[in-house]
Amino acid sequence: MKPSNNQADTQLSKQLSNQLSTQFGTKLSDSLLLPQVATATLELIINKALSLNNKSLSFATVAQKTLMLELAELSFPLCFTVDNTSSPVVIIVRSTIECSDCSIKTSVSTLKKLKANQSLTQLIKQDELDVSGDIKIAQQFANIAQSLEIDWQTELAKHLGDVPTHKLLQFGNKITKSLLATGKQLEADISEYLVHEKRLVVTSSQINAFNQQTKDAASKVDSLSARIDKLVANIAGKQ
């Protein structure tokens, strides 16, 4: 006989509560409420960024959906829920294990690779990324993050004034350009070394072989020299 919906719900709740009993353990980060400090800070930053955004963003497909991110570097998960019950739309950040429509288990370094457009499937195959649930939700969250368009100059000018903001951004642009140029030069030098010069550089096995050959030649010269000395001595004895 199939269990009724109520029985199934009850069983699910029991399983969840068992998981939560573990969560209710005495972890130091829990006692210090570090996950709550982190989620409150993240929530503030994300919603501030959303309020400064100039581009219209569509949240319809992710309304009330939750994305869970488990980073190897963090001892607690991060859950992002889109709330569209009030205007403007806000994103709520929590640290809980029983909330997600899509969950991603990964590390910060893998997220950087994802940003650098490394193939998603390749990272999953390499076990660097574990996705469960509706992957479209993760993609839509990523799209929203990439679509954010914030006019930092206008926002900064509201606090600092027009002239200091202009000077600050000019200085910032100069530094950025110089850093980018240095980076590009470094990248070019390294790639030139790898493509051209690395081929010409003698390897350690080649050096070892050369040393061995030199030793062999020296011992041959020594034995030849000894033979010549012996012959010279024989000739001198006969005379």
Q: What residue ranges bind other proteins (CB under 8 A)?
A: 6, 9-10, 12-14, 16-18, 20-21, 23-24, 26, 30-31, 33, 35-37, 39-40, 63-64, 81, 83-87, 90, 92, 94-96, 98-99
User: Pick from 74, 92, 75: which is nearest to 83 by CA?
Assistant: 92
Q: How far is the CB of 145 from other proteins (least distance, A)?
A: 20
Q: How far is the CB of 101 from other proteins (least distance, A)?
A: 9
Token pair belonging to 122: 């390749």
**What are the b/e assignments for 17-51, b being 16+ CB within 10 Å?**
eeeeeeeeeeeeebeeebbeebbeebbeebbeebe
Gap between the Cα atoms of 73 and 37, Å rounded: 16
What does residue 119 show for φ and ψ, rounded to 5 degrees? -60, 135
Residue 24 vs 210, nearer CB to other proteins: 24
Residue 38 vs 124, nearer CB to other proteins: 38
Residue 31 vs 146, nearer CB to other proteins: 31
Q: How far is the CB of 75 from other proteins (least distance, A)?
A: 14
Residue 13 vs 219, nearer CB to other proteins: 13
Residue 63 vs 194, nearer CB to other proteins: 63
Q: How far is the CB of 5 from other proteins (least distance, A)?
A: 10
Q: How far is the CB of 106 from other proteins (least distance, A)?
A: 21
Residue 18 vs 54, nearer CB to other proteins: 18
Q: What angle do CA 226, 228, 233 make, to 5 degrees?
A: 95
Residue 99 vs 168, nearer CB to other proteins: 99
Q: How far is the CB of 84 from other proteins (least distance, A)?
A: 8
The 10 Å Cβ neighbour count of residue 93 is 21
113, 91 in Cβ contact below 8 A? Answer: no
Q: How far is the CB of 167 from other proteins (least distance, A)?
A: 36
Gap between the Cα atoms of 73 and 46, Å rounded: 20
